[in-house]
Amino acid sequence: MRKRLKPEPSSLKYQNRIGVIDLGVQYKFAGDQNGASAGSGYVAMLGYSAGALAFEATYSQTRNTVAWAIQYSNVTPPNPYLQIENTKGYMLTALWKITPAATVKAGWEDLELSAPSNPYLTGIQDYYGLLLPKPAQNATGVQYFQLYWLGGDYRFTPAFDAGIGFYDINTFDSPEIGRAYVAQAYSLLADYSLTKRFDAYLGAMLMRYSGVGLDKRAPVDAYSGNAMCGVGIRFRF
C-alpha cells in the first residue's frame, strides 16, 4: 500500500518510494491574508509496506490556519466566527490485509492547537465562499486532541464492500479552554459498484459524548449522543 500526500493549492511536494520505504514532504505557502487560505504549513511522512502489512508515520505543523470551530454538541450551533490557530500533530497508522477480501486498519493521532503566530488576521469572515456573521477570533491557551481508531472492511463480492470502524476522541483541554470532553463513534459504510465509474453508498455513524466540557450544557440527554447517516451515488472522473 502506498499513500500519497494530499494535494494542496500553492504548495510544493516531494514523494518517493525506495524499496519497501515510502517517504514524502510537502510545504504549503501562505495564501490570501483576507481569506481561508491565509495559513502556511508542512507535513512529513515516512512509511513501510511489504506484503500484507503497511505502516505509516506523519508529522505536521501549520501556522495561522483559518478554521471553523464547529461545536461537538448536537444542540449547540456552530460558532458564528472563524478561529485563527497554529497546529502541531503526529499520526501513526497500520494496515493488515488478512486475506484478499479482508483488511484491518488502526491508527493514533495527537493534535495540539494554540494561538496563531500572526494575531492580526481577525478580520477574516469568508470561509471558502461562506460568509460568517462575526469576524474571526484568535485561539487562546492550548487545546489538545487525541484520537485512536480501529476498523476494517470486507469485500463480499467484486462489486460489494462493507466496512466498520470505532473512534475514540479525547480533548484533555487546559482549564482556560473549558471544552474538555470525550467522544466515541461507531461507523458503518457499505459501497456497491454499479459500473467502473459509478458506485452507490450507504453510511451511518453513531456518536456518544461525555466529560466536564459538557457539564454546563442542559439538558444532558440532549447532547450526550447523536446519529448521522447518508446515502448517495458517486461518479469517478
For 51-79, the pLDDT digits (tens) are: 999 999 999 999 999 998 665 455 456 77
Q: Where are the alpha helices (DSSP H) in the chain?
A: 220-223
Residue 10 to residues 7, 23, 40, 58, Cα–Cα distance (Å): 10, 21, 10, 21
For 91-104, the pLDDT digits (tens) are: 999 999 999 999 99
Mean pLDDT of all residues belonging to the chain: 86
Bridge partners of 210, per DSSP, are 182
Domains of the chain and any CATH numbers: 11-235 (2.40.160.10)
CB 203 within 8 A of CB 189: yes
Q: What confidence category does residue 209 fall into, taking pLDDT thresholds of 50, 70 and 90? A: confident
- More confident: 42 or 141: 42
- C-alpha–C-alpha distance, residues 68 and 199, integer Å: 31
What residues contact 64, with CB distance under 8 A and at least 6 apart? 30, 38, 39, 40, 84, 85, 86, 116, 117, 118, 121
Residue 116: asked if its preceding bond is cis (omega within 30°), the reply is no
Q: Is residue 176 pLDDT above 50, yes or no?
A: no
- C-alpha–C-alpha distance, residues 74 and 227, integer Å: 9
CB 123 within 8 A of CB 135: yes
Q: Is the dihedral of CA 229, 187, 61, 53 positive or negative?
A: negative
Q: Is residue 121 pLDDT above 70, yes or no?
A: yes
Q: Is residue 179 pLDDT above 70, yes or no?
A: no
For 225-235, the pLDDT digits (tens) are: 778 899 999 98
Q: What confidence category does residue 32 fall into, taking pLDDT thresholds of 50, 70 and 90? A: confident
State residue 10's pLDDT score.
81
Comparing 84-93, 108-117, 166-175, 197-206, the range with the smallest average pLDDT is 166-175
Percentage with pLDDT > 70 across the chain: 83
- C-alpha–C-alpha distance, residues 13 and 87, integer Å: 20
- More confident: 49 or 80: 49
Q: What is the pTM of this model?
A: 0.80
Dihedral of CA atoms 26, 112, 72, 180 in degrees, nearest 10, equals: 170
Closest by Cα among 173, 189, 193 to 181: 173
